[in-house]
Structure formats: structure tokens, C-alpha cells
Amino acid sequence: MTTSTPLRILILGTGNMARTHAAAFQKIPNVRLVAGVDRRADVLAQFCADFDIPERFETLDEAISWGAFDAVANVTPDAAHHPTTLALLTAGKHVLCEKPLATNADDAREMADLAAGKGLVGMVNLSYRNVAVLQKAAELVADGAIGALRHFEASYLQSWLTQPAWGDWKTQDQWLWRLSTAHGSKGVLGDVGIHILDFATFAAGSPVADLSCRLKTFDKAEGGRIGDYVLDANDSFTLQAELENGALGTVTATRFASGHLNDLRLRLYGDKGGLEVRFEKNVETLRICRDADLKEANWTELAVPPVPTVYERFVAAIRDGAPAEPDFEHGARLQVALDLAERSHLEDGRFLKA
């Protein structure tokens, strides 16, 4: 496919996150949104009207039978990622799938293998890859700027269980489902754990070799429930991990981080220097300490230009054969780590190998 040929994209699932996808794709030259799919006819109709999308289907089967699209943004609920993506790949369509790739490692592996076998672009929307300072940190580590990596600390801090900035979680279904396993939630581990694991392992340039994890669910309502929602999903986790490159570190996340709306932090320490990455209140910072600055522990902030978004990289991978990062293979590796974290907790925090 060349840049002169319009890339036709279908949006599968037309909820709130789909609007982010649609708006991003419409900014890319010669990309056309040609169809939307959602079983909720009213939501689908409004979405297609808002983004001037000509075709609409209430089932994926109808859309595949129609077939006049090249690629798909899969913005369905987590449990639907696996069956819908398999159907799309089988039909020969490229897929950008929302995170997590699947709800278990076996399903994620099947998706990665099918995409590779079909020669199709399969990418996971790990949105913090759009943070330029994270990309730069990964480049610096790979170039040996801080020497051999020895230690890392990563955290994802949210506060919507303690602050009203996110709305009243006790009365709003959009938040309550995230606290209930019966409603499809895997807690903070499943919701943002994949982001902070990717944040750390991508910058470190190495996947998880083994890990130990503890999950915690706090009492938040009388009887542990609000209406139909049993509040049993984990609210915080702490995880120790060794990476394949030998670095040892911690990864944590919580929804009880009062004072932090949605903040990510990463510290990377090598035998020749250190890096600190922050994404807080949508502001990016990257600091480095190395060489002569080590003696007095002086840190220098680095200026970093913007990077292409995941949506731009997806289009470039289809059109030009550019690297499809993060790809389904990476998403499958992350799902292995998430599955291990759940299992480790059930086994009293035992270290498990990936």
C-alpha cells in the first residue's frame, strides 16, 4: 500500500475510548474512517454522525461480510479482544487492539501467532509509548548512556478512590465496574499494570524473567458491595521483578495515591549513571546523571521533541513496513507477566519464572 492509496479504517466498539482513536486517525493524511461497529444502535449512530463515518454495522460478522476496509481499531471490552481480533486477522485485516491484548497469556499468544502467520500488522495501544521522554530513555539505555542496567523503580499512581476529580466512583457505573471482578475487572493490575510494566520493560530494553507479586483489595463500602457491584477487584499491587538483562527492581500501582491524578514515574540505574522519567499531569520530564556529574550527584534535564503517536506508527507499519511497535508479540509477553503476577499472589508471593 502506498501513501497515495487511502487507508480505510473500521472502528470496532464506539464508546469513549473509540473517540480518541477516531480523532487521532482523522488527523493522519489519506486515512479514512469508513465504518463503525457496535451492537448499541443509538451509541453507534451518534458516533458515526460525530465523525462523519458512512457505514455502520451492529455485528462484526456483517462488517466482515461487507469487507471494504483495510484495518481495524479494536476498542471492544477486554474479554472481546481475543475472539474479535482472531476473526479480523482471519479475514486478512490489520488490527490495532486496545490493551490488554487478551485476558490470559494463551489467548494473547494465539493472537500474536496468527498475526505473524498471516503477515499482518498487529499492534497494541499502549498509549504511554506516545510519551517522548520514555522513547528517549529507551534509546539512551540501548546506547549504553548509563552503562549496564542494574536497578529500576516504576510506579503508576492514581487517586480516583480518594479524590473527587474523577467523579463520584460510589455512584457512577463507569467506575464501579472497575472494582468488580464479576463485571470483568482485573483490578488495578489488569487496568494499569500493563501500562507500568510496559513503561519499565520498554525503557529497560528487556522483558521480565521472573517476578513476585502481592495484590490488595481494601474495604470501600459496607458489606463490600454497592448495589450489583461486589467490590472485590484489587486496588493496589506491589511487584518485584528481575529482567532478562539481569536488572532487579520494583513495579507498583494503586488507586489510593492521594494527590496524584494519573502519574507515572520510572527510575533506571546503571553502573555508569541514572535516568529519571516522569509523566505527571500530562507533563513529561527526563533527567540524567552520568560522567562528571556523578561525583556531586547533579542531574540534567533533557529536552526531547515529540514522537509519532501509536496511530501514526500503525498507519506507517501498514503503508511502509515501518516497525509495528508495540506489536502483538510484545503484548503477549506482557500478558505472561500479568498472569504470573496473579498466580504469584495466590501462591503467597512466590517468585515465578516467565
**CATH number, domain with residue 281:** 3.30.360.10
What average pLDDT does range 156-180 have in this prediction?
90
Q: What is the CATH number of the domain that holds 30?
A: 3.40.50.720
Tell me, what's the pLDDT at 2? 57
pLDDT band at 4 (very low <50, low <70, confident <90, very high): confident
Do 81 and 164 lie in one domain? The reply is no
Q: What angle do CA 122, 124, 126 make, to 5 degrees?
A: 155
CA 228: distance to chain centroid? Answer: 28
The reply to whether 155 and 95 lie within a common domain is: no
Do 136 and 36 reside in the same domain of the chain?
A: no
123 and 141 both lie in a single domain = no
Are both 138 and 113 inside the same structural domain? no
Which of 78, 96, 127 terminates a domain? The answer is: 127
Q: Please give the share of the chain, as a percent, with pLDDT higher than 90.
A: 92
Is residue 51 in a domain? yes
pLDDT tens sequence across 259-310 = 999 999 999 999 999 999 999 999 999 999 999 999 999 999 999 999 999 9
Please state, for a pLDDT cut of 70, what percent of the chain lies above it: 99
The answer to whether residue 1 scores a pLDDT higher than 70 is no
pLDDT tens-place string over residues 331-346:
999 999 999 999 999 9
Residue-level pLDDT at 3: 60
Same domain, residue pair 280 and 217: yes
User: What's the domain range around 97?
Assistant: 7-127
Which pairs from 50-59 meet CB under 8 Å and 24+ separation? 50/19, 51/19, 51/22, 51/23, 51/26, 53/11, 53/22
The better pLDDT of the pair 173, 253 is held by: 253
In degrees to the nearest 10, what's the CA dihedral of 14, 75, 345, 347? 120
Which residue type, as a one-letter code, is found at position 257?
A
Averaged over 83-103, what is the pLDDT? 97
Q: Which amino acid would we find at residue 174? A: Q
2 domain residue, yes or no: no
- The reply to whether 184 and 282 lie within a common domain is yes
Mean pLDDT confidence for 40-61:
97
**pLDDT of 43:** 96
At which of 127, 146, 164 does a domain end?
127
pLDDT tens sequence across 76-87: 988 899 999 999
Query: How many domains does the chain fold into?
Result: 2
Among 127, 145, 170, give the residue marking a domain's end. 127
